[in-house]
């Protein structure tokens, strides 16, 4: 259920599929140039950015773990060789 001012709740934003967010941005920006419409488009854009940032953070975390594991194996190999 949207907020009293017509904006979606954070929970609703998080459940909107990414393709629908793109559509909502396009529809919102395609209308008249009111501040309300720009604010709404920015709200949808911010959600897209948040999702992409979350995905990037997860990938960086996986990369960091992979590098740490490889470094550990490298250290263990050096110890074992001596």
Does residue 1 lie within any of the structural domains? no
Task: Name residues whose C-beta falls within 8 Å of residue 51's C-beta, 6 or more positions apart in sequence.
Answer: 18
Query: Into how many domains does the chain fold?
Result: 1
For residue 63, is pLDDT > 80? yes
Position 2 in a domain: no
CB distance 9 to 43 below 8 Å: no
For residues 3 and 44, the model is more confident at: 44
pLDDT digits (tens, 9 = 90+) for 6-23: 778 888 888 999 999 899
Percent of the chain's residues with pLDDT above 90: 52
The C-alpha atoms of residue 65 and residue 24 are separated, in whole angstroms, by 37
Contact 16, 24 (CB under 8 A): yes
- Banded model confidence at residue 75, pLDDT cuts 50, 70, 90: very high
| Domain coverage including residue 36 | 10-81
pLDDT of residue 50: 94
């Amino acid at each position: 259920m949207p907020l009293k001012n017509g904006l979606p709740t954070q929970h609703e934003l998080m459940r909107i599929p990414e393709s629908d967010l793109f559509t909502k941005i396009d529809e919102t920006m395609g209308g008249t140039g009111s501040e309300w419409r720009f604010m709404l488009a920015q709200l949808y854009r911010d959600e897209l950015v948040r999702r992409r940032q979350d995905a990037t953070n997860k990938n960086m975390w996986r990369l960091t773990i992979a590098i740490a594991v490889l470094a550990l194996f490298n250290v263990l190999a050096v110890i074992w060789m001596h």
